[in-house]
């Protein structure tokens, strides 16, 4: 069976299982990965399941601790009020005139350690209360601005699962991914924000009742005294600490490779250990602010670990799915086509990720699968620029085309009170603007700072 036919069948399998039959994403990905092994003539039938297990276990082992600790950090930021404190400070600094930009920045910062859907749930009441203060105006702008910032770091900056798994697959230093991904995310976020400003003026959708808090309850949240929240420095500590440690590991490795400083930085900046320290800091912020005992701290920790378990399973399942496509020869065929068409690996990564995103809805799965396909092609024909730009291009492609098979689409539609058509006319094109902005930023970065 031709590899592209296998790719088509496998993609259809994931689509039908998740979207049509509502099967759990982890089960769907593992079953589809086994199906690839059964169909491919390049994989002995008796080894198909073993190959899936090896691919799943390898990725789960490399990312499991990081994702679990990131979930603990996010839970603590939410329960302590630290996330709300960060948002309020940005709003106060930028003023009412640029309040939508404060939503972009808040989403950008908070989505580094907190999963994007959670960030949206957190910030949408604040966006709604801001719209109330503006007599119901700019409602669409505020809600889209959350995604403009939050989605960018979700797809470009570890320790969120997609970029974390891509860094492992492509063997790129995590500190470098944080720095480059964070920079590429800025123009991507601004592109989506600019679209949000335009579409808000064109459609002018007023504030609406939506599930969750009523408009009266939102007023109470908006007027909650800041004395009930942690300090800004404490609130930022769990976010800044791992980024500094991991980046320091990268910098010392580049400039002081044989020094004692390098050894210390490598220990502290190991992604798993850095996230453990950050989780400890987040627990301290929660415990000190709410005066909790060690026994009382067990509940938020357990809740976070439970949510992280599913994310780890789905992420590693996506890795196994992608690895089986590689073993079936899909990457070789796509690479050959790209070479014949004169298509760069960056554009190929963007295009493949976009196709997977449109087909099955998950940006994380699209990133992981695409990076698995591109990894052998990068090794066989190293580009003239650093592969980190291919990673960001894949991330940009993974967000293009979010529509009704994407859970984030329904979260946005439901929590804002928009209709399906209104969400398609606003949220979907805002993600296209974000993805195109990220691709252009990656291409410009590769041209100006190739790092090779």
Query: Residues 121-174: pLDDT tens digits?
Result: 778 777 877 787 777 788 999 999 999 999 999 999 998 889 999 999 999 999
pTM of the model: 0.84
Query: Residues 6-44: pLDDT tens digits?
Result: 989 998 898 888 778 888 888 988 999 999 999 999 999
- Do residues 424 and 401 make contact, with C-beta atoms less than 8 angstroms apart? no
pLDDT (0 to 100) of residue 331: 85
Would you say the C-alpha torsion 164, 166, 167, 171 has a positive or negative sign? positive
pLDDT (0 to 100) of residue 114: 73
Cα separation, 413 vs 144, in Å, equals 11
Q: Summarize the confidence of residues 188-194 as an average pLDDT.
A: 97
Residue 213 has pLDDT above 60, yes or no: no
What are the residues whose beta carbons fall under 8 Å from the beta carbon of 355, sequence distance 6 or more? none
3-class SS letters over 339-396: HHHCCCHHHHHHHHHHHHHHHHCCHHHHHHHHHHHHHHHHHHCCCCCCCHHHHHHHHH
Residue 24 DSSP symbol:
-
Question: Of 104 and 259, which is predicted with more confidence?
Answer: 104
Question: Of 197 and 318, which is predicted with more confidence?
Answer: 197
């Amino acid at each position: 069976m031709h590899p592209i036919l296998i790719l088509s069948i496998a993609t259809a399998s994931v689509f039908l299982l998740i979207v049509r039959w509502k099967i759990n994403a982890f089960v769907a990905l593992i079953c589809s990965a086994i199906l690839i092994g059964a169909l491919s003539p390049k994989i002995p039938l008796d080894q198909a399941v073993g190959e899936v297990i090896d691919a799943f276990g390898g990725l789960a082992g490399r990312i499991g601790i990081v994702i679990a600790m990131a979930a603990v950090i996010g839970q603590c930021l939410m329960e302590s009020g630290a996330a709300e404190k960060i948002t309020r400070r940005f709003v106060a600094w930028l003023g009412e005139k640029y309040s939508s930009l404060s939503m972009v920045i808040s989403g950008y910062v908070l989505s580094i350690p907190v999963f994007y859907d959670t960030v949206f749930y957190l910030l949408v009441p604040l966006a709604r209360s801001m719209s109330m203060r503006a007599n119901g105006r700019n409602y669409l702008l505020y809600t889209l601005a959350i995604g403009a910032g939050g989605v960018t770091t979700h797809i470009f900056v570890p320790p969120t699962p997609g970029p974390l798994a891509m860094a492992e697959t492509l063997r790129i230093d995590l500190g470098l991914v944080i720095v480059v991904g964070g920079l590429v995310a800025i123009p991507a976020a601004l592109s989506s924000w600019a679209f949000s400003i335009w579409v808000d003026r064109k459609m002018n959708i007023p504030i609406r009742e939506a599930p969750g808090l009523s408009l009266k309850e939102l007023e109470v949240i908006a007027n909650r005294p800041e004395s009930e929240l942690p300090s800004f420095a404490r609130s930022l500590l769990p976010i800044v600490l791992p980024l500094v440690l991991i980046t320091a590991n990268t910098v010392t490795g580049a400039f002081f490779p044989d020094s004692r400083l390098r050894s210390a930085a490598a220990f502290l900046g190991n992604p798993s250990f850095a996230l453990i320290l950050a989780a400890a800091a987040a627990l301290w912020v929660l415990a000190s602010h709410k005066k909790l005992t060690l026994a009382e701290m067990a509940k938020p920790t357990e809740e976070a670990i439970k949510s992280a378990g599913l994310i780890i399973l789905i992420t590693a399942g996506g890795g196994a799915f992608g690895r089986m496509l590689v073993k079936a020869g899909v990457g070789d065929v796509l690479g050959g086509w790209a070479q014949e068409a004169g298509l760069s690996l960056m554009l190929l990564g963007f295009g493949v990720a976009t196709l997977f995103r449109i087909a099955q809805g998950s940006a994380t799965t699209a990133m992981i699968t695409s990076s698995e396909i591109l990894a052998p092609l990068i090794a066989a024909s190293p580009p003239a620029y650093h592969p980190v730009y291919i990673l960001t291009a894949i991330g940009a492609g993974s967000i293009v085309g979010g529509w009704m098979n994407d859970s984030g689409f329904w979260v946005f539609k439901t929590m804002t009170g928009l209709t399906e058509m209104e969400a398609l006319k606003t949220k979907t094109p805002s993600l296209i603007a974000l993805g195109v902005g990220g691709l252009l930023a990656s291409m410009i970065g590769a041209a100006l700072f190739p790092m090779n």
